[in-house]
Structures are given as structure tokens and as C-alpha cells.
Structure 1
Amino acid sequence: MSTALQAQRREADRALAARDARIPGLNWVLDDGLLSELLGESVRITRTRYKPHTSALVAFRRAGDGAGSYGWASTTAPEHAGKLQRRADSSRKRGGGIRLLQPDDLHADVLVAVGPIDEDWPLRPNLGWLRDHGLGRLGALPAAGRFLEPPVSVLRYNPERRLVIRVPSATLPVVVKTAAHAGEAAAGRRLRQRLASHGIPVLPELADPECAAHGISASPDWGHGDLSCGDNDPAAYRAGQALAALHGMDAEASTDPTADVEDLVRQLAATRSMITCLLPGLEAPVTRLTGRLLASLGAGDPHGPRHVLVHGDFSADQVLVDGPAIRIIDFDRARTSDPARDLGSFAAVEDIADAAGAVPVAGGRQTAQLIDGYREAGGHVSQARVEAWAAFRLFLNSVDPFRNRASDWPAETDWHIRRALELIA
């Protein structure tokens, strides 16, 4: 990151911390330099979860490989500091690694809790079961050293939510996801089995019901990257065909468009609240965008598109590729909704990946190939609906530059809002 961008991000973070005096330690977990100073080692913050006036939780990374290079840090409003203290006390009694740090000697109520992945409080029980029982059930070979260390590699870590790792086995490596909530793994296991039975190209589920009961799902490592890694027209076309087949499946239960609209309203309200908290200057365009999205997508028209099973988070990085062959992954947000939702989601993420080249219509070359394959396989969708759902995904993702610690998150967030308004003008 350039010095100028560092300064811009630091200024925006400090302005946010100044507005939220309810969390006096906020700036210490937003700034790489301050957190490094507090820990006495160089770290880079990779993920932020912020609850205004309540708490902030971040994942950070040191140099190196394996879970040992990752950690988390959390700070809260003073009235919630007792929870941090109790967790640190419990960890110390077990010989765990949670530390409670006080960055400001003058203010005893400013506390930052820091710990390793295996002391992530909501994930800890399921990670412990994975260590003691799960890896063997999955045919994975134990790590040569400490649990989660090389040759095990961390693919994604979302603190207090989920951890995705790659573990060697006697044949292909195994990709293992551990979620804090067991219901996520159990529901995902049932859905993937159903999708496979309908010929949808998904990866086989290696986790048995006992693994799923402990929040664990797994599949063999497959392919050579995903669609986001470069142009692959045949794979994008096949992804469109597979998406049409997914949308053509019978829903297991009756769909309720009213419930879908209510959920959409909740998501729009939550995103609007967060963006105006992070960047108060965007209140006017965010209010305008929310109104347009509600008018376009929240009307609840009984004659509108038939609701079908959708992926719910569809994008190029959810499509693994091996030449023209594909596998669709990560059905955690599957639901019943407008089929254009998946296509618009894909288009929005392609726009985000190439913000400088965004054209008047949503998406680019891959989206065009996807829609061609979708229509060839019998899918029906209008460009207007695709662009409305693309605007929705852009709006929801407008929080991501802050969460993912983008080098210039205020400017990137502003771009998301402006692009969404262009698409739903």
C-alpha cells in the first residue's frame, strides 16, 4: 500500500473512531501500525466486523504459513469488557492463548483481547472436535506439528464464523470448512446431496452426519482455480447452463415471496445504517439508492418472476474450473428467490473486479457468456432484472471495502454506491 493510501485510510479510520466514543479501543483494532505496536510484532489486519457503539472484531495475519500466522483481536464498549475478561480467564486456566491487553495506561476500561485461531471462542468447540475426531473421519492426514500448522494451509478465516483449511490426505488434499453453527453444515450437506442427485455439478460431500453435527463440511480439492482467475468462456457458458438447471429444480417447500421481500428490506436497512455510520457524507445517495431498490425489487408483485431455488451468493469465485469443466461451491446462502438474483450477483462481482472498465450494462464478458449458457439451457431472464439485482449486490458489497481493509475503502465504497445508482436509474 502506498504511503498516500495509508494516510487516507488512517484518516478515515480515525474519523470513525472519533465518532464512536462508545468503543474507546476502536482505533487500536483498525490500524495495522497500532495493533502491531500493541502486539509487539508486525501484523496486517485482513478482516473487520464492526458493531457500532458495541464492539469490533478483526482477523490479522503475521508473516508465514499455517494457522499460527493468523490471529484475532477484539475490543468492546466498557460495559461489555467483562465478557472479554471471562474468556481470557477461562483460556488461561486451560493453558490457552487468549491475552487481555491494555493499550492506554491512563484508561483501565480500554481493553483488547487477542488470541489464535484455535482460541476463537465460537469456533473453538468445533475446531477441537475436528482435531480430535474429524480429521480421521475425513481420511485427512494429521499435521506434522501442532494442529492446523503446515502442511495444513488456511484458505479463509472469518473470525467467530468459519475457518476453511486445506489438509493433505493419502490421495487428493481435502478442503475442510468448520462453522461456528452446526446447522449451517448440516443444511449444506443435505442440499449438496440433493443438488448432486439432480445432476448439478457440485463437489462430493466427504463429511458424515457426525461431522456435520459439529459444524464441519468437506470436499476433495478440485480444479485449477475458479472463474475469477481469468477468461474461460466455455466454463462461464457451462456455469450458466448449470445455473439454469439449479433454477429448474422443484423447491422442497412452498415459496413465500412475502418473506423474501421482508428479508430484502432488512438487508437494505442494515446496509444503509452501516454505510451512513461509516461515511455520513453518503447518506443522501444511499437513501436514494435504497428507495430505488425497494421500488424495483421489494414491490411483491404477484405477477412477478416465479421464485425458485437460487445459490444466493453467486459469483465467479464460486465456480471452480478445470478446463471447461466446472463445479459450483458455497451454497451457504441458498434460498428461494427471483432467478435473476444469481445472474445479477455474478454481474455485480464482475463489475467490482474491473471497476475501471465497467460498462453501461451490468457485468462484462463472463456475464455475457453466463447468460448465453443460461438461456440456451432454457433459463428466462430480463436484462432489467439482472441489473436491478446487480445494483442490490453492489449495495450489499459496499461495506466490504471497510470489512476487508481495502487500501482506500472510502473511495471504493463511494464507487459501489455510484455504480449501483447507474444500474438502477
Structure 2
Amino acid sequence: MSTPQGQRLQEEWLQVQRRDADRALAARDPRIPGLNWVLDDELLSGLLGESVQIIRTRYKPHTSALVAFRRTGNGSYGWALTTTPEHVGKLQQRADSSQKRDGGIRLVQPDRQHGDVVVAVGPIEEDWPLRPNLRWLRDHGLRRLGALPAAGRFLDPPVSVLRYNPERRLVARVPTETVPVVVKTAVQADVAAAGLRLRQRLQSHGIPVLPELADPECAAHGISASPGWGQGDLGGGGNDPAAYRAGQALAAIHGMNAGAGADPMADMEDLVRQLMATRSMITCLLPGLEAPVDALTGRLLAAVGADGPRRQQPVMVHGDFSADQVLVDGPAIRIIDFDRVTTSDPARDLGSFAAVEDIADPAGVGPVAGGPKTAQLTAGYRDAGGHVTQAGVDSWAAFRLFLNSVDPFRNRASDWPADTNWHIRRALELIA
């Protein structure tokens, strides 16, 4: 049995491991002189003069590093960005523009003797790509969703931030006079309201989804919304009946017409781009993994890529299916987040679900992908008429494991090199 002192020593050891890996990465990328300052909680906290925890990292080798952080004092969120010396002027322009409005973006220099080391810091509201859509949400969108903007900063309590991916999207829970509304604001606008039409199609086919509250005008500003629902997601304990029902719903999705705009070849080309981008990033983060990553990339291209065999007729797939995409309320379910719907092998969704279950319990993995929830999901899927092979599920689980192998670094896992290594090893096991 571990003791509090043993746990503390283990945490300290993991922090040393992560710090050493981060410093090694920063040393290999001198083009971004401030890189180490935005990868280390203590360094960034000292720079900001307040205690923060980095929760998300977006790193572009030799170009920039952007992180989201959470203040440990009041729980509010912000971002920090550092870049190459020749782009510091752009950061200054953004800070000057911010000061002309309400302020918010500031530049800090970790080392006054080295002016090329600059970190820009700001609140979510001043996230540059998200800012236009967030302001439209504040000024117009909240009323359209039945919520009134707060008197002060509209992201302050009682609004609660659920997820923040800097320069990509924000998910927040907003109170209304009836039930809370979960609002997602993305950089990418849905000008044609394709997401709204897809949700309507899913509902018309009896798929258990949440109603879309946003109208086409909201969609044109990157906003979608649904009422708060359920007691959590399928990632919690138990919920075997819910997993079975999720499998039945997944079979119904795969049975729908993919639509006139479906382009299986374009989707396959995107799949190959994802594989090559992941290969490039992992070998940059951990050069010692180049050989196993090259081997895994080759196997995945042979199994699921453009040169691989077509295991089944392509269908409309969720594209990012996992336990946290299935809300539950007892045995009742609702499937959410259809942003990555594409046309692909039906085994792709089941493999994705299985991979994420393996990631949640690496010590409990077996000879095939997934665990008890995957087994229940598959049973419901097959009983509802779905057809997949175990080899197909394992191949697509390996694909998802490989894509997710960057996540330990992005999400600042306590020992991200070891976690990334595990993703690669597990994927190779499943696609051997």
C-alpha cells in the first residue's frame, strides 16, 4: 500500500522526468527561445506572478508554442504564447490593439537581457482567433440561446468553462431560466449550417442525440449549443446497458446514407495526412522513437491507409467515437460531438472507442483492443445489424492510439515520454 510520503516522492520523480524531457525538447529547438517558459508550471507561474497549471499545449516546431493554463487560485483560464524572435513584432501589435480596447494581452520578458525571449499572455476573451466569435456570442448569441449576458465579463461565474483548446474552441456551461445550456464556440464557422442539418437528420432517423439550440446565424459564428443532460458520460463505472445501447445507436448511424457530399477518397487522403503529421510530431518530440514510429506508420498505411484493403463498404462514421462522446442517464444515452463525421470503414468508430478504453486502463489491456465496455458496445452493434471483424477493430484502434500518442505531451501528462511510448507499443501490438 502506498503511503502519502511515497505518493509525494513518486509525484516529484515524475515532475523531474517531465521537466527533463521538456528541457531536452527546448534545447533541440533554439528557434523558440522562450519555449521552456511555457512548458513548465513553476517557470510560467513565476513569470506571471501567480500560481497556474498548464493544461494544454500546442507546439509548432521552430515556429511557436501556445498553452492554455488554469489559475489555481480562482480557477479562471488564460493562455500564453511564445514564438520566434522575428515574430515578436506581431505579438506587440496584438498587445497594442488589445490595450486600445479593454486591455487584456500583455507581453512579459523572462530575461531582460535577452529581448528576443517574449511571452504574450491573455484571457480567453482575448484569444485572437476565437475573439470575434466569442464577442458575437456575448453581444448577440446568448440572447438567441435564451441566456442573458452577465453584467461583467461574460465568462465569469455563474458561467463555467468546461473545456478550452486555445485558438480552436471553447465549451462553456451557461445558466438560463430553465436548464443550463452547453455552448461550444469554435474558430471554424459553419456558414452553411451543415452541423445543424446533420443533427436534424440524425434526429429524424431516431438517433439519440441532443437537440441543437443554435440557429444558422449562430452556426455562421462558430457556435453550437445543446441543453445540459445526463449524469455524466460512459467513461464512468458500470453502465453496461448504456454501452449496449450506444452500440445499437452506432449501428443505426452507420446504416444512414452518407449523403451526396461524401467523398471517401478525400477522407482517405485526410487520414494519410493525419498519419504523416503524427509521425512528424512524435519523432520531433522523442527522436529515439523514430524507428518504431516508422514501423507503425508503415503498418497503419498498409492496414487502413490509401494502399490498404477495403475491409468494408465505407459508411458515415462519427469519426471521434469514445466513451466521453456518450452521455448517460441510467440506461438512457445521448451521443454528442459530430464535428468529425466522415466516410470510412465502420470498424473505425469501434476501434476508436476501444483505443480510448485501453488508454483509460493501460494496466488492464488484453490481446484485443478494448475492455468490458467495448465488448458491450460491440454486442449492441452486432445485435442491431452492424458487421465488423476483430482484425478491423484492432487496426483502427491502433490508428487511434497512434494519433493520440501526441496527447500526453499536449495535455501535460506527468510523464509524457513514458505515456507516448506506451501508445506506440500498444498500437504495434494490435497491428502486428
Residue 62 (structure 2) pairs with residue 53 (structure 1): yes
Work out the CA distance in 2 between the residues paired with 1:261 and 1:146.
43
Residues 400-411 of structure 1 mapped to structure 2, 5 A cutoff: 400-411=407-418
Indicate the larger mover: 53-62 or 189-198. 189-198
TM-score by length of 1: 0.97
Q: CA RMSD in A?
A: 1.4
Indicate the larger mover: 148-157 or 292-301. 292-301
TM-score by length of 2: 0.95
Shift of 1:209: 1.1
Letter of the structure 1 residue corresponding to residue 135 of structure 2: G
Name the residue aligned to 2:426. Answer: 419
Work out the CA distance in 2 between the residues paired with 1:143 and 1:325.
34
Work out the CA distance in 2 between the residues paired with 1:13 and 1:124.
30
Shift of 1:144: 5.9
Work out the CA distance in 2 between the residues paired with 1:50 and 1:294.
25
Shift of 1:270: 0.4
Indicate the larger mover: 332-341 or 183-192. 183-192
Q: Deviations over 1:305-341 (max 9, x none)?
A: 1111100000000000000000000011111111100
Letter of the structure 2 residue corresponding to residue 401 of structure 1: P
Indicate the larger mover: 27-36 or 139-148. 139-148
- 1:35 aligned to which of 38, 44, 47: 44
Work out the CA distance in 1 between the residues paired with 2:425 and 2:372.
21
Shift of 1:80: 1.7
Residues 280-295 of structure 1 mapped to structure 2, 5 A cutoff: 280-295=287-302
Shift of 1:301: 5.9
- 1:341 aligned to which of 348, 355, 360: 348
Contact 1:59 1:70 in 2 (8 A): yes
Residue 15 (structure 2) pairs with residue 15 (structure 1): no
Residue 108 (structure 2) pairs with residue 88 (structure 1): no
Secondary structure of 2:42's partner? helix
Q: Deviations over 1:242-295 (max 9, x none)?
A: 000000001112644332332221111100000000000100100010011011
Q: Deviations over 1:372-418 (max 9, x none)?
A: 00000000000000000000000000000000000000000000000
Work out the CA distance in 2 between the residues paired with 1:187 and 1:113.
35
Following TM superposition, the consecutive aligned residue runs of length 4 or more in structure 1 with deviations greater than 6 angstroms are none
Contact 1:180 1:215 in 2 (8 A): yes
Work out the CA distance in 1 between the residues paired with 2:20 and 2:181.
42
Secondary structure of 2:116's partner? coil
Compared CA separation, residues 143 and 255, structure 1 to 2 (3 A): closer
Work out the CA distance in 1 between the residues paired with 2:283 and 2:269.
21
Q: Deviations over 1:117-173 (max 9, x none)?
A: 001111111111111111111012433643111111000000011110001111110
Letter of the structure 1 residue corresponding to residue 416 of structure 2: W
Contact 2:92 2:107 in 1 (8 A): yes
Residue 370 (structure 2) pairs with residue 366 (structure 1): no
Contact 2:41 2:53 in 1 (8 A): yes
Name the residue aligned to 1:202. Answer: 209
Compared CA separation, residues 299 and 131, structure 1 to 2 (3 A): closer
Secondary structure of 1:228's partner? coil
Residues 208-287 of structure 1 mapped to structure 2, 5 A cutoff: 208-253=215-260, 255-287=262-294
Indicate the larger mover: 104-113 or 20-29. 104-113
Work out the CA distance in 2 between the residues paired with 1:184 and 1:245.
28
Residue segments in structure 1 that go unaligned for 5+ positions in a row = none
Work out the CA distance in 2 between the residues paired with 1:326 and 1:418.
33
- Alignment: residue pair count: 423
Letter of the structure 1 residue corresponding to residue 268 of structure 2: V
Work out the CA distance in 2 between the residues paired with 1:158 and 1:187.
22
Secondary structure of 1:193's partner? helix
Name the residue aligned to 2:387. Answer: 380
Residue segments in structure 2 that go unaligned for 5+ positions in a row = 1-7
Shift of 1:116: 0.3
Contact 2:191 2:220 in 1 (8 A): no
Shift of 1:366: 0.2
